Amino acid sequence: MTSTSLPGGTFNLGDLTVTRMGYGAMQLAGPHVFGPPADRDAAVAVLREVVDLGINHIDTSDYYGPYVTNEIIREALHPYPDDLHIVTKVGALRDAEGNWPQALAPEQLRQAVHDNLRRLGLDVMDVVNLRVGGFDRPTPGSIEEPFTVLAELQQQGLIKHLGLSTVNAEQVAEAQSIAPVVCVQNFYNIANRDDDPLVDSLAAQGVAFVPYFPLGGFSPLQSEELNAVAARLEASPLAVALAWLLHRSPNILLIPGTSSVAHLRENVAAAALALPEDALTELNSID
C-alpha cells in the first residue's frame, strides 16, 4: 500500500491500488437514478473534482440512468488518467417504469459488460461486480452460473478483476471456487452490522468490503445515539458514520455519492474525522 492525503490511505484490488475514499456515481443521474440530471454541467464538474481531489476509485453501473451515468463519466474524464479505476456492476436493468428487475441470464450479463465498455469508452473493465441480491440484503442460492459467465469474460480479457454485490458468505465462497474475488459490495453501516463476520473474513483474505447506504436503516434510537456522538464531536452524523467505517476495518472502501462539488468536498473532509476511543466504544455499541 502507498500513502495518500485522502482519509484512510489506499487498498489493493488485486494489482490495482485504489484510494479507500472513493466516489459513487449513482446520484449523477436524474431523480430516483432515472433519466438525465437537471444540470449535466454540474455532474461533469463533480467528476472532474473527484479526480482533482486525488480519488481514483469510481463506482458506477450502466443501469444508472440507465446509461446516463456512464455517458457523463466518459464526457467528463475520457481519456482517463492512468491511475483511475472504474468499478461497475451487472445483474440488473431498468424497465420503462424505473424498476430494477434482475438481469442474470448469461446473454444479459455478456451484453451488460459490453454496454459498460462501450459507453465508458474502455477496452477492458478494471472491476465488474455481479449484483445478485435484493435492494438491501442477499437472496440465498447458487450464483455459479452468472459468476461463471463473468469469469469467462475475464478470461477473454474484457475484465481485469471480479467482485460481488449483495451476497452472503456462502455465495462469496462459491464464487471464489470459480475465480478470485477482489471486492464485495453489501449493505452495511453502524446500525446494520450483520456482515461483521464477513468484513473480518474478507479482511483476513485481503479482499475489499464496500458498504453502501452508510446512513440507511437507522431506527430513531440509533439515530439519537449517533446524533449524540456527532454533537459531542461538533460534527455531522454523516461525518461520524463515514469515519467509523474507515476505522472499522482496513479493507473497507467508501463510495459516498453526491451531485454537488461542495458536498463532495464535505464528504472527503468528513471521512477524515478523528474518532476518540470513547466515541468508538459508544458507536460500536449501536445495534
Q: Residue 38 CA to chain centroid, in angstroms?
A: 24
By CB atoms closer than 10 A (0-12, 13-18, 19+), residue 267 is buried
* C-alpha–C-alpha distance, residues 15 and 44, integer Å: 28
Residue given cell 453502524 in the structure block: 190
* C-alpha–C-alpha distance, residues 6 and 21, integer Å: 7
Return the closest-CA partner of residue 133 out of 191, 178, 172.
172
Backbone φ and ψ for 251, nearest 5 degrees, come out as -95, 0
Beta-ladder partners of 131: 165
* C-alpha–C-alpha distance, residues 268 and 121, integer Å: 28
Alpha helices in 141-276 (DSSP H): 144-155, 169-176, 196-205, 220-232, 237-248, 261-271
* C-alpha–C-alpha distance, residues 33 and 104, integer Å: 20
> Would you please indicate which residues are annotated as catalytic (active-site) residues?
64
* C-alpha–C-alpha distance, residues 180 and 112, integer Å: 20
- Reported in sequence order, the residue ranges of the chain that DSSP labels E, i.e. its strands, are 10-13, 16-19, 23-24, 57-59, 85-90, 125-131, 159-165, 181-187, 208-212
